[in-house]
Amino acid sequence: MDNDRNSEKRKPTNIWDIVAPSFGKIGPKYWNIFGERLVELSNIEEGGLLLDIGMGRGASLFPAAKKIGNNGKVIGIDFSERMVHETERELLERNIENAEVYMIDVEEMSFDEQTFDYIISGFFITHLFYFESKLSNITKILKKGGKFSFTTWGEQKDQKWLTQIIDKYIDKNTSTEIRYNTVDCIVNELKESDFHTIRVHEEQPYVIYNNQDAWWKEMYSNAFRGIIEEIKVQGMNRLESFKADVNEGLKKFTREDGIYFKMPVIYAFCKK
């Protein structure tokens, strides 16, 4: 069981290492938009210590560092070595001195109890819901009265066609139901973890691509790259057939000025 679990961890880590240099830098900058929105709604005050879990390329880390100011400090962690390297390089380029980033797996965090005034996480927190620890690591290192906020994807109805195509080419159930993609599920989970002052809502923004080429370029720069590489191993003819099916599916969402996808995002805020 443990070996299987570690294997599952290694696979996405490798993909994130591969896409790290271009992640969030190609196509619609929706990661930055959602990260800035998370910080905007989190009621972060100047000063204090903030932890950003799964910070990736800093979509929420950079606005959090600005918000918390020079009297505060932001620590970002991610389990992708390349993500950490690229984000650290960008911190230096921007001359940001109140933020540090480290390669740490969230389930292996060794921060002292009641260390952080704030903990935020952009599109990573559902990872915790699938393991036994759930949110125990969060509650342990967050101060009493500390604030915890995160984003997760709502139900992605505009992506179901893509999942169906993937299932034709890859022999695994990618259409498994995701439990934690509704407001009610998130609220219940936070209550069970003894959080209070809970605020959870869903927003339904559109992400717009200029054309099919722009869509594919962005897919090569995120976790979808792993799907592409897995199909590529089956042969170039197989990959070209997959791309043709996807391009046909993209037509359904194409308007005169671009390709539109509604991508619901759940924002959650609470206190310990």
Contact 102, 73 (CB under 8 A): no
Reported as a single tens digit per residue, the pLDDT across 222-262 is: 999 999 999 999 999 999 999 999 999 999 999 999 999 99
Residue 14 is predicted with a pLDDT of 79
pLDDT at position 11 is 45
Model pTM above 0.75 = yes
Strands 72-78 and 48-53: parallel
Pairing of strands 48-53, 116-122: parallel
Indicate the domain borders of the chain: 2-156+177-209+262-271
9 pLDDT exceeds 70? no
Higher per-residue pLDDT: 131 or 44: 44
Domain 2-156+177-209+262-271, CATH number (from 3.40.50.300, 1.10.1040.10, 3.40.50.150, 3.10.20.740)? 3.40.50.150
pLDDT single digits (tens) 136-183: 889 999 999 999 999 999 999 999 999 999 999 998 654 444 567 899
**Per-residue model confidence as pLDDT tens digits over 38-90:** 999 999 999 999 999 999 999 999 999 999 999 999 999 999 999 999 999 99
Residue 227 CA to residue 220 CA, distance in Å, equals 10
